[in-house]
Structure 1
Amino acid sequence: MSRLLSSLRDGKGFDIVLVAVPLAFLLVFSGLPLIYNVVMSFQAVDMFSLGTFNRPWVGFKNYVDVFSLPATWPIMRNTVIFVVCSIAGQFVIGFALALFFARGFPGSSYIRGLFLASWVMPGLVVGAMWNWILAGDFGVLNYALRSLGIISENIFWASNPAWSLWAVIVANIWLGISFNMILLSVGLAAIPRDLYEAAALDGANGLQKFWTITLPMMRSTIGAVISLGLIFTLQQFDLFASITSGGPANSSNVAQYWAWEMSFRQYDFAKGATISVVMIAVVMIASVIYVRSTRHEVRG
């Protein structure tokens, strides 16, 4: 102990502090709640036993019960649709914008910076904004579609079971476009320009350059972007809370919002913890893929 204190006074042990403090923070505020949640998924916990340690151990019963519920598979299907469509939309539009701004034109850097405004906005603010856009009576979207003659009467996007999930998907795509664009722009900037010049001398057109140079050179970056998109999309909660609340009739409900409903509306904390553990496992797999992608990128 005295040796540690003397090294800190000399400034030699400061690197230990820089590592120990964040690790302690992660352990207290992330590690312990994670362990607590995993343990709770194997117990019978309701609103009466939550504050006590009188929790019978039930093993995998909660997992069997959750996957036996009638709502489970429709909600899982919604989750898959939400994740796949959100990631695809964010990536395709973000990649197109990254390629567009990579051309370089007066003011491109400033305009690209403005796109980050959507990413830094809190999810509840974005949800409130899209509530105004998608409102059935006075929404901007309905007004624009009526003006173009596409629809003849208002559509209640957030309360119509046929459109409610897609309403949140569109909002989430808008929210993640700028993040995808910035990361992909960094990957594009790392590609040596002489490769394109050599391809141009060989007579390659723009599409051939994209398939033979851009995509192969961006493989690690694309893997990292998609992995991060999966992680962030599976954690998306605010948009569902502010736009559809998982309704109507679970038509827009997804696993992450269902876990909250199960815990804080139905007060079945054990099943809520079970759903969360399943989601955490998926996020951890995506995190491993992301780490491997960045490792290959660094080696490259």
Structure 2
Amino acid sequence: MRRIISSLKDGKGFDIALIAFPFAFLFALAGLPLIYNILMSFQEVDMFSLGTFWRPFVGLKNYVTLFSQPETWPILSNTAIFVAASIAGQVFFGFSLALFFWTNFPGASWLRGLFLVSWVMPGLVVGAIWNWILSGDFGVLNFVLRSAGVIDANIFWRSDPDFSLWAVILANIWLGTSFNMILLSVGLSAIPADLYEASELDGANVFQRFWTITLPMMRSTIGAIVSLGLIFTLQQFDLFAAITSGGPNNSSNVTQYWAWDLSFRQYDFAQGAAISVIMTVFVMLASVVYVRSTRHEVRG
């Protein structure tokens, strides 16, 4: 201990301290809860044994029970649809807005900043706003669709099993589009203007320039955005809690909300921990893809 203190005073161990303290901080706040959750997924847990590590070990029983439940596969299907549709919508609208603001018209920077309001707002606030928009009786969305002649009667977006999941998807697309727009705008600004000038001299039109220059140059950026979108979307909980609560009849339930429901409503902590471990694996895989995408972009 005396050697460590003397090395810190001499400045020799300062670099070690810079690494050790943040690592200890992350391990205490993230590592220990993760280890505790993994252990809990292999144990039999009840209300009385929740606060201790010493619980009966049941092996893979919690995972086997989880996948034998009838609601598991519909919820996994909902999760896949939610993630795929949300990421596709966020990338499409984010890319469209990034291309729109790329023209740099007067007031573009101010208008671009307004789009960031949705990203900085808390998820529960966004959910409350979309609760009003999606209301079946007096919602703005029904009013707009009726005025345009698209529908004849009100649609109860939050309570209709055919629309409840898509209601949350719509809100999540709105929430994440501005973030995608900013990242894609940065990627577009890094493309050399000489490429477009040369292709325009060669007679390429707007769509040809987009297909042969913009998309290939943005490939790594889009890959990173998709990876980040997967991470954020798998962690989305607030919108489900605020808009549908996973209902009706699990029609809008997804794994992240189901894990919370099993743990804190049904008090089945082991099953909730098992779902959380499975989700953690997918998030870690997405993180690896994101790191590889950004590394490729830096090298390029």
User: Which of the five TM-score ranges fits, normalised by the shorter chain?
Assistant: over 0.9
Q: How many residues align?
A: 300
Partner of 1:247: 247
Any stretches of 5+ residues in structure 2 without a counterpart?
none
1:144 CA drift (Å): 1.8
Partner of 1:125: 125
Alignment of 1:53-202 (within 5 A): 53-202=53-202
1:52 CA drift (Å): 3.8
Greater CA drift, 5-14 or 40-49: 5-14
Alignment partners' CA distance in 2, 1:148 and 1:214:
35
Alignment partners' CA distance in 2, 1:50 and 1:12:
44
Cα deviation, 1:165-210, whole Å, max 9, x if unaligned, reads: 0000000000000010011111111111111111111111111111
Alignment of 1:40-59 (within 5 A): 40-59=40-59
Partner of 2:224: 224
1:57 CA drift (Å): 0.6
Greater CA drift, 130-139 or 67-76: 130-139
Q: Give, as a single letter, the amino acid of the residue that structure 1 aligns with 2:218.
A: M
Q: Give, as a single letter, the amino acid of the residue that structure 2 aligns with 1:210.
A: F
1:10 CA drift (Å): 6.0
Q: TM-score, normalised to structure 1's length?
A: 0.96
Alignment partners' CA distance in 1, 2:246 and 2:33:
25
**Structure 1 residues 267 and 188 mapped into 2: Cα distance closer, same or farther (>3 Å)?**
same
Partner of 2:35: 35
1:62 CA drift (Å): 0.8
Alignment partners' CA distance in 2, 1:230 and 1:10:
46
Partner of 2:210: 210
**Structure 1 residues 4 and 55 mapped into 2: Cα distance closer, same or farther (>3 Å)?**
closer
Alignment partners' CA distance in 2, 1:116 and 1:15:
38
1:139 CA drift (Å): 1.2
Alignment partners' CA distance in 1, 2:294 and 2:287:
11
1:81 CA drift (Å): 0.4
Partner of 2:258: 258
Give the % identical residues: 75
Q: TM-score, normalised to structure 2's length?
A: 0.96
**Structure 1 residues 2 and 250 mapped into 2: Cα distance closer, same or farther (>3 Å)?**
same
Greater CA drift, 58-67 or 137-146: 137-146
1:153 CA drift (Å): 2.3
**Structure 1 residues 285 and 133 mapped into 2: Cα distance closer, same or farther (>3 Å)?**
same
**Root mean square deviation of aligned Cα:** 1.5
Greater CA drift, 141-150 or 187-196: 141-150
